[in-house]
Structures are given as structure tokens and as C-alpha cells.
Amino acid sequence: MNEKRFLAIVALAFLGTQSSALMLAPLLVDIADEFDTSVAMAGQVATATFVAWAISVVSVGPFSDYFGRRPVALIGLTLLAVGAFGSALSPNLATLMVMRVATGFGGGMIPPNGMAAVADVVPVERRAKVIGGLLAVTTASQVIGLPMVAWLADLGGWRAPFVVMGSLLALCTLLNWLWFPKAEIAVTRTFSFFSRYRSLLAKPVIRAIVTVNFAQRIAFMGLFSYLATYLIDDYDMSVGATALPLAVVGIGTVVGSFVGGQAANRSDRMPLIAVSALVAGGASAALFSMEIPVWAVVALATGAMGLLSIAWTVLISAITEASSQSRATGVGLLGISNQTGAVGGAALGGLLLAAGGFPGIGYLCLGVVVFSVVVIVFFLRESASSAKLLVDGPL
């Protein structure tokens, strides 16, 4: 196997998947206008995407661990391409929601399957840095993909980005069909859907990791889902004008993912992500609540998104360590918490926006990261000599 080529197509699949999943953020205002609904209601299209994603993530791990990584990768990417083209042709909000559900089902297959494939072939001593690099490429979607979405929407309307995204995903599917390894490492496999989850969830450390990730993903997606809308509504930006701020914020997530890869082998990685989360929660509350210049908002959002991205890389590395031969199922569990957290961030953020305006989103972010820190402090700890997870209590 050509490892560099393999990692390149996995990175491309991650980039396309993440861009497809998050591309609604700068389009919500235009979608709401075309379909004569509120931004908060249009935001529930994102909620539907993440619900489908969560269901897919729940299901895909045991299939990947048993049937292999290649077929799951190809099916997931095909669904993503179909969902993007279908979204471009949607005549109403209901059809768009159905197409985004297809996007969610396809997208949910890619991260756990891809991370498990990487963990299968990359030696453990290099694994954390490789995962950090892949996640940095993935989060580059906010630097490359989302500004491109905003720019294309400004030129050709909100449907144009879906056409371009569908074309890129179709190309990605072809490259994975050509280059994803057909022969995989031989391991003893049994298809036991529920028992894989039971054996992993029996481990207190797995439950604690999933809980921390769930809370921090609510904060991440609450901030991300409504940042562009905040800039448009409160700072009178056009959709196209949000491209540069979104790119800057995206750089924060890329840097955070890279830092997480460097931190994932440290013995103090859990205290590190606890402190990072607290700072991010405070920044989120401040940017939505204070009357400050637009670039101060962007700076706070960049810092918050970057700090929250450190935890995602660290927790992926930790759960692959604890999952043994059920790596795809383990990463899938983390993906479940990731997407249910995204649902919570999009849905609760929309409700708080409708009820009391943008400050409620900031307080939501702060509250959930405080909860995650409590879990880290009281339930998770590291051994003194290495980054080996221990757990206090039966969380």
C-alpha cells in the first residue's frame, strides 16, 4: 500500500465531508428568504443533517469493523454526492431537508471508518500526530470550503455551492474507488453489532470521553452555526462579506486540531483541554453579548473555535487507544456524541435565538463547557508517567 496516497485520499474525503456538513451556515439567510421562513426555522435543516449523521455513526462502526473500510468509504461518499446535487435542485424546504438527511447518512460513515482505517495501518507512535494532521486538513474546510460557499452564493445564489460541492464529492468518490486499498490487514472479525457497543460502553473511560465530547460539541456547533448569521444581522454584512471572517475563524480550528495532535501523547492532555474549554466558553459568551467591533468578534470566535478543536483531536486519539479491534465502533461512539452535540448546538441555539436573541447562544456555550470541565476534573485523569487514561468513578 502507498501510505502517502492512502492518507491523501482519506484527508480529501474528510475535507469534502466536513465542508458538505457545515456549508449551510453562510446560506441560512438566503434559504430562509427563498422559502419564506425564519432563519431559526431554516437552521433546523442543519439539525436534520446532524440527526441523520448521528444515526449513521451509530450504525456504521460494526459494519466497518466486520465488512471492511473500503465499501463503507465508497457508499458514504456516494451518498454525500447525491445529497449535494439533490439539495441544489430542491424546490422547497421539505425537499432540502430530505436531501440533507441523505448528506447526514453519508457523512456519518466517513470519519469513524476513515479514522479506523488510519489506526489500522499507522504505527501507534505516529498515530496521534497523523490524526492531528488529518483533522487539521478536515477543519481547513472552514478556511477553504466555507468561504468558497459564501463566495459562490454571492455570485450564483445559494444553490450554486451545492452544485460545486456535489462535483467535488463525485471526484473524491472516484479517487477513493481507485486508490483505497482493496486488501486490508487480516484480523479476526465477528459481526456482533450490539455486543461491540456493550463491550466498549462497559468501560468507564469510554463513557467519560463520550460525555466530555458531547458537551464541548454543543458549544462548538452553537457558536459555529450562528456566527455568520450574527455577522449578517447585527453587523449588516452581506453573505459574501462573511467569507473572510469565516476563513479567519477556520484558521483557528486548523491550528487547534494541529495543537491537539501534538498534545495527544502528553500526560497532562486532559487538564489542557479543560482549561482550553473554559477560555473558549468565556470568549463565546462575550462575543455574542458585548457591543464590540466586528473584528473583535472574529478574533474571539477564532480563539474559541481553536481552543475547542484541541479537545476533538485529543479525544479521538484517546478513544482509539481504548477501543482495540473495535476502533471504528469506538470512533463511531465519539461520532455519536459529536453529532448529537451538533444537534444540540444547532437546535438549542436556534431556540435561544428565537427566545432571547444572540446572547443566549453565548451563555449556552459557556454552560456546556463548564459541565465538560466538571466531568474531566472529577472523572478523568492521566497516569503520572504517560498519557494513559484512568477514570475515577462509574460515569
| pLDDT at residue 392 greater than cutoff 70 | no
Q: CB–CB of 120/327 below 8 Å?
A: yes
pLDDT for residue 295 is more than 50: yes
> 4 or 164: whose pLDDT is higher?
164
Question: Which fold does the domain 3-179+192-389 belong to in CATH?
Answer: Growth Hormone; Chain: A; (1.20.1250)
CB 380 within 8 A of CB 216: no
CB 139 within 8 A of CB 247: no
The structural domains of the chain, with segments of one domain joined by +, span 3-179+192-389
Assess contact for 138 and 21: CB atoms under 8 A. no
pLDDT at residue number 394? 61
**Mean pLDDT to the nearest integer, 35-50:** 87
Of the ranges 56-70, 136-150, 336-350, which one carries the lowest mean pLDDT score? 136-150
- The answer to whether 28 and 53 are in contact (CB under 8 A) is no
pLDDT in tens, 305-324: 999 999 988 998 888 888 87
**Whole-prediction pTM:** 0.73
Read off φ and ψ for residue 338, nearest 5 degrees. Answer: -65, -50
Residue 33 has a pLDDT of 93
User: How far apart (Å, rounded) are the C-alpha atoms in residues 134 and 131?
Assistant: 5
pLDDT of residue 186: 47
Q: What is the pLDDT of residues 108-159, one digit of tens each?
A: 899 889 988 988 888 877 888 888 888 888 877 767 887 788 889 989 999 9
21 pLDDT higher than 80: yes
Cell of 290: 458585548
A 10 A CB-CB count for 226 gives 27
Angstrom CA distances, 37 to 30, 41, 126, stand at: 10, 7, 49
For residue 92, pLDDT beyond 80: yes
CB atoms within 10 A of CB 378: 12
CA distance 86 to 140: 25
- pLDDT range class, residue 219, cuts 50, 70, 90: very high
The stretch 14-31 carries a mean pLDDT of: 89
Determine the pLDDT at residue 187.
Answer: 53
Q: Say what the pLDDT of residue 84 is.
A: 96
Could you give the 3-state DSSP secondary structure of residue 307? helix
Cell numbers linked to 76 = 458514504
Q: Which three cell numbers stand for residue 78?
A: 456516494
Q: Are 35 and 88 in contact (CB under 8 A)?
A: no
Q: What is the pLDDT of residue 170?
A: 96
More confident residue, 372 or 65: 372
- The per-residue b/e assignment along 156-188, b for 16 or more CB within 10 angstroms, e otherwise, is eebbbbbbbbbebbbebbeebeebbbeeeeeee
pLDDT, residue 264, reads 87
In this structure, are residues 148 and 161 in contact, taking their beta carbons and an 8 Å threshold? yes
Q: Say which residues have a Cβ less than 8 Å from residue 387's Cβ, sequence separation at least 6.
A: 264, 265, 266, 267, 269
Query: What mean pLDDT do residues 161-171 have?
Result: 95
pLDDT at 54: 77
Cα–Cα dist 179/45, whole Å: 34
E strands in the chain: 380-382, 389-391
Nearest-CA neighbor of 133 among 122, 149, 144, 120? 122
Supply the mean pLDDT for the chain.
Answer: 87
Q: 369: exposed, middle or buried (C-beta count within 10 Å: 0-12, 13-18, 19+)?
A: buried
Over residues 62-74, mean pLDDT: 89
> d(Cα 288, Cα 382) in Å, to the nearest integer?
35
Angle in degrees, CA 118, 386, 114, rounded to 5: 10
Q: Which residues of 241-250 are buried (b: 16+ CB within 10 A; e: fewer)?
A: bbbebbbbbb
User: Residue 36 has what DSSP assignment?
Assistant: T
Mean pLDDT of 199-219: 92
The number of beta carbons lying within 10 Å of the beta carbon of residue 198 is 10
With 50 as the cut, is the pLDDT of residue 173 above it?
Answer: yes
Instruction: Write out the three cell numbers for 11.
Output: 484527508
- Give the helix/strand (H/E) hosting 292: none
As beta bridge partners, residue 382 has: 389
**pLDDT > 70 in the chain, percent:** 93
What pLDDT shows up at residue 195?
81
